[in-house]
Amino acid sequence: MAMHQREIEIETGSSPGLADLTRACAEFLADVADAGDGLLTVFVPHATAGVVVVELGAGSDDDLLDALERLLPHDERWRHRHGSPGHGADHVLPLLVSPSVTIPVVAGAMTLGTWQSIALLDTNADNRRRRVQLAFLAG
């Protein structure tokens, strides 16, 4: 079995949001010469971000961010207090949103559903640049 890897960098901006990684993942798989069947892992090596498979657009992005703000409000309740107000909430985010996802790949293509996208979820306004690691393990 061979594993192929790539690291990409994403500019996330200064407000909470989702960055679509689906195209970058598809391009990575297209560049892997022997990508047949296997597993694609998408991992963000940061303590305040996660990776999700979600429908993007049609209000889903805002609904997700609103739900997270209700669960993890950016206020002064957190003991972790460096950075912007409520930054402690960003450090609790990985308990709800994993830093990685694994997607089955068949004949070189991700097996995502019609409305599914892979996205970086970042609620931390203090870190505007994120690294994302892509890995394909052929099966």
CATH number at residue 98: 2.60.120.460
pLDDT of residue 85: 82
pLDDT value for 1: 66
The strand pairing partners of 54, in sequence order, are 117
Instruction: Please give the structure tokens belonging to residue 68.
Output: 């997270």
Distance from C-alpha of 57 to C-alpha of 36, rounded to nearest angstrom: 30
| Tens place of pLDDT per residue across the chain (139 aa) | 689 999 999 998 888 999 999 999 999 999 997 789 999 999 999 999 999 999 999 999 999 999 999 999 999 998 987 878 888 999 999 999 999 999 999 999 999 999 999 999 999 988 889 999 999 999 8
Please give the tally of structural domains in the chain.
1
Residue numbers of the domain that contains 63? 3-138
pLDDT of residue 113: 96
pTM for this model (two decimals): 0.93
Give burial (CB, 10 Å; 0-12/13-18/19+) of 118. buried
Distances (CA, A) of 79 to 2, 47, 73: 44, 16, 13
Rounded to whole angstroms, the Cα distance separating 10 from 25 reads 13
